[in-house]
A and B are shown apart, each in its own frame.
Chain A
Amino acid sequence: METETTRQPRILVFACRWCGLIGADGAGKNRIALPSNFRIIPVECAAYVEPDAIIRALASGIDGTIVMGCHVGGCRFNDANHAAIKRLELLKELLDATGVGRDRLLISFGTAHEDHQFAEVIRDYFDTVAALPPLEPWVSTLTMKHLSRS
């Protein structure tokens, strides 16, 4: 296992099945090369993503999280993603206040729909997260051990 200092950032993506995931799929179809250290959890709608899940992910030693949803105005669920945006932007405030850093959560609504944009978002975000100060002081040692299987 690579050491904590040199390892690639770990990024968790919550992708809405109807835009974000289609974008990811398109990136795959066009075989756009991407760093391998991100995982996608498909959700039915961006509104599905509990802020607690984001916090949990960061607490579990994941360095950055992305929430991808449909264009505002294009949500399949009658603008359910509006409320999601509001919640997550509020969560960013909290992350910012505590120094976890607002960039540890990327809200990407709409831009994820097209394959190249998905790739851009992922690449940019890897750079962004790599530039952030390490999260270790925040993550209890227990969790790190728990995670060290990868």
Chain B
Amino acid sequence: MMVQNNEKNPVLVVGGGVAGIIAAFDLAEMGRTVHLVDSAPLLGGQVAKLDKIYPTDHCAFCPLWTDIKKVQEHHRVIVHTTSKVTDITQDADGYNVVIVCDPPAIDESLCIFCGRCVDTCTKGAVRPLWAHAYPPAYFIDRQLCAECGDCVDVCPTEAINLNRTEVELFLAVDEVIWATGFKEADLSTLPEFGMGTHPDVMTSLEFEEWIAEAGVNKGTITRKVNGAVPKNIAFIQCVGARDQRMLPYCSAVCCMHALKQAQWVKRRNPLIDCTILYTDLRTVGRGYNEYSLRELHESAITFIRGRPGLIHPLPTGDAIAIKYENTLTQTREIAKFDMVVLNGNLQTSPARKAADSQHIPPLNGEGFVDTMQDEIPRYACGFNLEPADIAESVIQASSAAMKVTIKEELQK
């Protein structure tokens, strides 16, 4: 099926994270038709995976959900979830985009969340879309699904259709805003951090998910390996970041992220010792430095300046040894920790498939969008432009939206 859109000067926003949502909303308010594309079944991006946000210590979900709803209900925003931009070409009057949408087997608009499909499914392929998905709906994991069709029979609202096919969508848009955000870089190239050597060595996003109140553990902190309460947790900063071998830049958000996580660990179980191994504690922003001071004094979190040389589980497997030099006391130390959280390996997620013919958008050496290559303005925000936390991403999003608006006005 082919669709050719014919709205007046539409804009494509790639990525439905905070940045994308805000950019889309602002442009829609300005009267532009906006196509918001996200590969996930729901908007929200990485922030939706977070449990709490700094420095307010408030749930990440609520405010995000407010804005998601505003975008979803906006009559000028067309949301394409579970969709990918597969091809994009530029001509005189804008971009031609190909979007491939892989519609979910369960039509969210018909699902009443009765859960009969879950009960019938023997493969456990049906699960809720997302803890915070409103309206709630189920979602079939096609990897696990055996296509038996039992769920189709029990569904009272005929919401399930197991043989939906991919839909290709051809859009002609005036402008594209890149907001595809970040993903965690693969740490296997840096073996000294011991990623994958032990279940309790995890990246910060995994840890966030592990201790999330909406997550499997309902907010209690336990070890993955044996479910016991950990005695101590180490947060390693600048893992793969500020590191010529992987990400030369500073990921900007990880210091506060680690502080936040450490504080929440302390709040939920004050008996767990938290140690943060940092290089520079970069706390720029309203209330950020105070936040770190509060950590130091109230939550009694240990700060060690130093980057570990080796992280490896003990032969017994009951703890993880970290070898580091404390550069402020100039002592080499080896410490045992029950859990290790690796922080910092955030890289901008690809804005396009690598196989694309043109390189749109052009990326600079560090993988960020090059906004002014050969004098063609490109628009990006959030982690596509520069490592940024929520507030910065949102500001960049609005700014990008403004730039797009002005461009339109100038052409008139």
Direct contact of A and B (CB under 8 A): yes
| Chain A interface residues (CB < 8 Å from chain B) | 18-19, 22, 26, 29, 70-71, 73-74, 76, 113-117
Chain B interface residue count, Cβ-Cβ cutoff 8 angstroms: 15
Chain A interface, DSSP helix/strand/loop, else mixed: loop
Residues B58 and A74 in contact, CB atoms below 8 Å apart? yes
| Residue from the set A70, A71, A114, A116 with the largest chain B CB neighbour count within 10 Å | A114
Q: Which residue of A lies closest to B128 (CB)?
A: A29
What are some 13 contacts across the A-B interface (CB < 8 A)? A19-B59, A19-B62, A22-B62, A26-B131, A29-B113, A29-B136, A70-B58, A70-B62, A73-B57, A74-B58, A113-B62, A117-B213, A117-B218
- Counting from the closest, the 4 A-B pairs by CB-CB distance are A74-B58, A73-B56, A114-B213, A71-B58
Residues A116 and B59 in contact, CB atoms below 8 Å apart? no
Query: In the assembly, what is the distance between CA of A26 and CA of B218, in Å?
Result: 13
Query: In the assembly, what is the distance between CA of A26 and CA of B135, in Å?
Result: 11
| Chain B interface residues (CB < 8 Å from chain A) | 56-59, 62-63, 66, 113, 128, 131, 136, 213-214, 218-219
Residues B218 and A71 in contact, CB atoms below 8 Å apart? no
Query: Which of chain A's residues have a CB closer than 8 A to the CB of B214?
Result: 114-115
Q: Which residue of B lies closest to A31 (CB)?
A: B115
Residues B59 and A113 in contact, CB atoms below 8 Å apart? yes
Chain B interface, DSSP helix/strand/loop, else mixed: loop
Query: Which of chain B's residues have a CB closer than 8 A to the CB of A29?
Result: 113, 128, 136
Query: Which of chain B's residues have a CB closer than 8 A to the CB of A18?
Result: 62
Query: In the assembly, what is the distance between CA of A74 and CA of B64, in Å?
Result: 12
Residues A74 and B218 in contact, CB atoms below 8 Å apart? no
**Given A18-B62, A29-B136, A114-B219: A74 in contact with B56 (beta carbons within 8 A):** yes
Query: Which of chain B's residues have a CB closer than 8 A to the CB of A74?
Result: 56, 58-59, 62-63
How distant is A15 from chain B, measured CB to nearest CB, in Å? 14
Query: In the assembly, what is the distance between CA of A116 and CA of B219, in Å?
Result: 10
How distant is A82 from chain B, measured CB to nearest CB, in Å? 13
Question: With contacts defined as CB atoms under 8 Å apart, how many contacts are there between chain A and chain B in the complex?
Answer: 36
Query: In the assembly, what is the distance between CA of A91 and CA of B214, in Å?
Result: 32
Q: Which residue of B lies closest to A70 (CB)?
A: B62
Q: Which residue of A lies closest to B53 (CB)?
A: A74
Q: Which residue of A lies closest to B65 (CB)?
A: A22
A113 partner, pick from B66, B136, B213, beta carbons under 8 A: B213
Query: Which of chain A's residues have a CB closer than 8 A to the CB of B218?
Result: 114, 116-117
Q: Which residue of B lies closest to A74 (CB)?
A: B58
Query: Which of chain B's residues have a CB closer than 8 A to the CB of A70?
Result: 58, 62
**Given A29-B136, A114-B213, A114-B214: A73 in contact with B58 (beta carbons within 8 A):** yes
Query: Which of chain A's residues have a CB closer than 8 A to the CB of B62?
Result: 18-19, 22, 70, 74, 76, 113
Query: In the assembly, what is the distance between CA of A113 and CA of B58, in Å?
Result: 10
How distant is B214 from chain A, measured CB to nearest CB, in Å? 6
Query: Which of chain A's residues have a CB closer than 8 A to the CB of B58?
Result: 70-71, 73-74
Residues A71 and B213 in contact, CB atoms below 8 Å apart? no
Query: Which of chain B's residues have a CB closer than 8 A to the CB of A26?
Result: 131
How distant is B63 from chain A, measured CB to nearest CB, in Å? 7
Q: Which residue of A lies closest to B66 (CB)?
A: A76
Query: Which of chain A's residues have a CB closer than 8 A to the CB of B213?
Result: 113-114, 116-117
A-B contact sample (18 more), CB < 8 A, given A29-B113, A70-B58, A115-B214? A18-B62, A19-B62, A22-B62, A29-B128, A29-B136, A71-B57, A71-B59, A73-B56, A74-B62, A74-B63, A76-B66, A113-B59, A113-B62, A114-B214, A114-B219, A116-B218, A117-B213, A117-B219
Query: In the assembly, what is the distance between CA of A22 and CA of B214, in Å?
Result: 12
Query: In the assembly, what is the distance between CA of A76 and CA of B58, in Å?
Result: 11
Q: Which residue of B lies closest to A18 (CB)?
A: B62
How distant is A78 from chain B, measured CB to nearest CB, in Å? 12
Query: In the assembly, what is the distance between CA of A46 and CA of B311, in Å?
Result: 47
Query: In the assembly, what is the distance between CA of A74 and CA of B214, in Å?
Result: 17
Query: In the assembly, what is the distance between CA of A74 and CA of B62, in Å?
Result: 8
Query: Which of chain A's residues have a CB closer than 8 A to the CB of B66?
Result: 76
